[in-house]
Amino acid sequence: MLKDRDQERQKVFTRRALLLGGAQLGMVGALLGRLYYLQVVEADRYRVLADDNRINIRLLPPPRGEIVDRFGMPLAINEKNYRVVIVREQAGNVPATLERLGRLIDLPEREVRRVMREMKRKRAFVPITARENLTWEEVSRVEVNAPDLPGIAIEVGLTRFYPYSETLAHVLGYVAAVSESELTGDPLLELPDFRIGKNGVERTYDEYLRGKAGTSQVEVNALGRVIRELSREDGTPGRRIEITLDMELQRYAMERIGEESASAVILDVHNGDVLALASTPGFDPNAFNRGLTPKEWEELISNERGPLTNKAIAGQYAPGSTYKMVVALAALDAGVTTPNQRVFCPGHMELGDSRFHCWKRHGHGHMDMRDAMKQSCDVYFYEMAKRLGINRIAAMSERLGLGQTLGFDLPGERSGLIPSREWKQARLGKSWHQGETLIAG
């Protein structure tokens, strides 16, 4: 009886051992099968995923294309930019390090605050620019004191430079950092030190001047820190843009204007090329590249002489006596006078209860069209305007291209204004008066 009980117990144990062994064998088989699937069947897929985690592709900004005048004289170039960067994980006490750096170079408080903000957004090993465009003297001071500046390093890049500064500011424009609204999905625009054209030729031809970015394939660890560079493919520099300006004529035009608030344009009469386009006062485009201080920006926008306005293409002013040419052409075209028909100028013209004076109060006497143009006789052109009416004067203005933009390849061009009966009614809701026709002449 005891023996039977032992045999029964042995059978139960054997069955359990077999079940447990079978379960273990099944688990090992499933594990081996899964390992085979991952390491053999899916090997290529996971190899790619591992490389994606291990290898990063980084963009290399291309050199911006140069801008030259019609004779190849460089107007906008790239210069070496020595900048000082700080790495948080190496700096230790960042505020103390920045304070020591500020004793060696000019480091405004606003720049210190910017660096601290960027450090909160970026990883500890990412270099952050503390200041750009260092002079040789500043670079030397930083390098000599390097042992006392943990985490501080000097890097060399390229920056835009305008050797003629204010002389070409309104033509060339300037480059500056990319704003949030200008991010279009192009990863090149997201690089922290990348600059784009904001005005002038720099903006109009920005797509050509930018060039094509290069790439650097780097190996990184699990934290994203660069271990080594695996390969590098240099990008394509931006295109060299040649404009029609003659730098010597441009300089001459600016010198002639001097300190006046004015503009001047010199054209090649044979083909219409713009040889000089001057507008004063100007501004220093290099300041926009390095970044304006709030005080500098306020001084520019509050200046009543409008240094940021390109007066040659965006200034809107009454044409004065130059408009007499339009009235003369309209009068000849309409047949209301001939070149030799004379008009008497007593120094004024009466219209109802109003008197419209000539600039020469004692009058010019009898004037034909040639003499009236030569003397800029107001009374003669009052008479022509009265004979024509404002709408025929406006029609000739439109035929001559006034009141329209030229399609100039600089941003910010504004059209002029051609008044007429319809314009005044639509704009002001008022009727046109004959006296307004006279002063249009």
Going residue by residue through the chain, which has 441 residues, state the pLDDT in tens, using 9 for 90 and above. 545 555 565 655 566 666 666 667 767 666 766 665 556 554 544 444 444 556 767 777 889 999 999 999 999 999 988 888 888 887 888 899 999 999 999 988 888 988 888 888 777 777 788 888 888 999 999 999 988 888 888 888 888 999 999 999 999 999 988 877 887 777 777 776 788 999 999 999 999 999 888 887 777 666 555 677 677 888 899 999 999 999 999 999 999 999 899 999 999 999 999 999 999 999 999 998 877 888 889 999 999 999 999 999 998 888 889 999 999 999 999 999 999 999 999 999 998 888 999 999 999 999 999 999 999 999 999 999 999 999 999 999 999 999 888 888 899 899 888 888 888 888 888 888 888 888 887
Written out in words, the top-level CATH class of the domain with range 320-440 is alpha beta
CA-wise closest residue to 253 among 262, 264, 243: 264
Buried b (16+ CB within 10 A) or exposed e, 280-293: bbbbbbbbbbeebe
Both tokens of 199, joined, read 């005005």
In this prediction, residue 338 carries a pLDDT of 96
Please state, as a whole number, how many other Cβ atoms lie within 10 Å of the Cβ of residue 301: 9
In this prediction, residue 219 carries a pLDDT of 75
Rounded CA-CA distance 319/403 in Å is: 12
Rounded CA-CA distance 403/223 in Å is: 62
Buried b (16+ CB within 10 A) or exposed e, 205-230: bbeebbbebbebebeeeeeeeeeeee
Catalytic residue among 140, 179, 231, 321: 321
The full set of domain ranges for the chain reads: 58-242, 320-440
Give one word for 246, left, alpha or beta, with left for phi > 0 and alpha for psi -120 to 50: beta
- Which residue's structure tokens are 């210190």? 112
The H-or-E segment that residue 249 falls in is helix 247-257
Both tokens of 376, joined, read 């800029």
Rounded CA-CA distance 169/283 in Å is: 6
In this prediction, residue 35 carries a pLDDT of 64
CA-wise closest residue to 417 among 394, 400, 384, 392: 394
In this prediction, residue 3 carries a pLDDT of 53
Any residues with CB less than 8 A from the CB of 89 and at least 6 apart, and which?
124, 125, 151
In this prediction, residue 46 carries a pLDDT of 44
263 has catalytic annotation: no
Rounded CA-CA distance 9/177 in Å is: 85
**DSSP letter (8 states) at residue 320:** G
What number does CATH give the domain 58-242? 3.90.1310.10
Alpha helices by DSSP H, listed for 258-389, are 285-290, 294-302, 311-314, 324-334, 369-375, 378-388
Contact 239, 247 (CB under 8 A): no
Provide φ and ψ at 54, rounded to 5°.
-90, -30
Rounded CA-CA distance 40/54 in Å is: 21
Alpha helices by DSSP H, listed for 37-164, are 43-54, 88-91, 94-104, 109-121, 136-144
Rounded CA-CA distance 65/328 in Å is: 48
In this prediction, residue 123 carries a pLDDT of 72
